[in-house]
Amino acid sequence: MALGLKAFGVLLVAATLLPFVPSNSGFIRTFDFPRLQIAALIVPVILSLLLVARDAAGLTLAAGLVAALAYQLFCIYPFTRLVSPQAVAAENGACRSTSGVSIMIANVLESNRAYAPILDLIAAQDPDLLLLVETDLAWAQALEPLRARYPHVLAQPQGNTYGLMFYSKLPLTEPQVRFLLQDDVPSVRTGVTLRTGETFTFFGVHPRPPHPGQSSAARDAELVLVAREVKAEGRPAVVAGDLNDVAWSKTNDLFQRISGLLDPRIGRGLYPTFNAKWPLLRWPLDHIFFSDDFLLGRIERLSHIQSDHFPILISLCRSDRAPHLQEAPEATVDDHADAREALEAAP
């Protein structure tokens, strides 16, 4: 028992250390994801080592596991209510109807043929903007009723799990479906006009995930490209979608600093969206970032739609006071160097 316990403890330490390796290997980058689960497993192993393996090796391993636990908690800590929110909430948590915009995103799971749950949820929430990913031709057909409520539509259904559908009640300017890095992975870019007449740019993205045997380079580079575009334009912006990246990863941090966008999860909670079917294996993969031109009305993880992702709903308030109330992330010289390396590594 003691030997098996020590072996498991070593694996947990290794799982903590692997993300430090400067590699785009999908196997290594996958260990960015389950930090909460690794931390939860470390605690009983430490206690067990102190009870049944109190020799020098066991105590040394226990000390290593304490350090590993501290690091895992350090990564998760910003996404708890123990820190101040990065995105400031609108007064009374509400937006004026003219200056506000509600955005819903959902990965519907291409193989999921239960269309009613997402259609019912959209009807109940009635968002201004709606981004659905993993939509193939069958999904596009099932979503046709939405066109009655959403006059502006960008449709790119595909059968490779990277199709997307974007719906808007608000007028769009120069809407386009783009293929930033790979000719089978689309994204959305469009101007959106609020009811006040003010505008912002919306980016909808769904880059390829880092799986074992598959590099994270394409995902990392796509996020850098979008981040650079947001920063270069200097306009109010929202970036949303299934980023296939967790909130606490180094690539996510780099995206935020390069773009200058705010993460509403910081100081509020994890809001884990994947895997909706596995309660003990969940992490935040679906994101909505926004510039400091907006205050946060609300953020909510919505109900299960028979997909492996939960939808996310957010409401934002455009406000002249917003930039003075919150501090946008800023990139360092090292961040820009990391961004260049990410682009150079892209396929």
Sorted by where each begins, the domain ranges of the chain are 2-79, 91-344
Q: pTM here?
A: 0.95
Mean pLDDT of 81-95: 87
**Confidence label for 119 from pLDDT (cuts 50, 70 and 90):** very high
**Confidence label for 93 from pLDDT (cuts 50, 70 and 90):** low
Sequence letter at residue 332: T
Nearest to 168 by CA among 209, 211, 200, 207: 200
Read off the tokens for 33.
């994801």
> Quick check: 94 pLDDT over 70?
no
**Confidence label for 1 from pLDDT (cuts 50, 70 and 90):** low
> Quick check: 140 pLDDT over 70?
yes
**Confidence label for 55 from pLDDT (cuts 50, 70 and 90):** confident
Report percent pLDDT > 90 for the chain: 88
Q: List CB contacts of 203: < 8 A, sequence separation 6 or more.
A: 187, 188, 189, 226, 229, 230, 237, 238, 239, 240, 241
CA trace torsion 26, 268, 255, 185 (10° rounding): 60
CA trace torsion 219, 285, 274, 89 (10° rounding): -170
Between 333-344 and 250-259, two packed helices, what is the crossing angle to 10 degrees? 110
pLDDT at 97: 72
Residue-wise pLDDT for 253-289, tens only, equals: 999 999 999 999 999 999 999 999 999 999 999 999 9
Q: What is the DSSP string of 124-164?
A: HH--SEEEEES--HHHHHHTGGGGGT--EEEEE--SSS--E
Mean residue pLDDT across the chain? 95
Nearest to 256 by CA among 100, 79, 103, 129: 79
Cα separations (Å) of 84 from 31, 42, 95, 130, 267?
27, 27, 21, 29, 5
Mean pLDDT of 78-84: 96
Residue-wise pLDDT for 152-161, tens only, equals: 999 999 999 9
Residue 310 burial (CB count, 10 A): 23
pLDDT at 52: 82
pLDDT at 68: 97
Please report which helix (H) or strand (E) contains residue 224, including its range: helix 217-233
Residue-wise pLDDT for 21-41, tens only, equals: 999 998 999 999 999 999 999
pLDDT at 53: 73
Read off the tokens for 204.
């909808």
Report percent pLDDT > 70 for the chain: 99
Give Cα 194 to chain centroid, integer Å. Answer: 24
> Quick check: 54 pLDDT over 80?
no
Mean pLDDT of 224-249: 97
> Quick check: 315 pLDDT over 80?
yes
| Range 91-344: architecture per CATH | 4-Layer Sandwich (3.60)
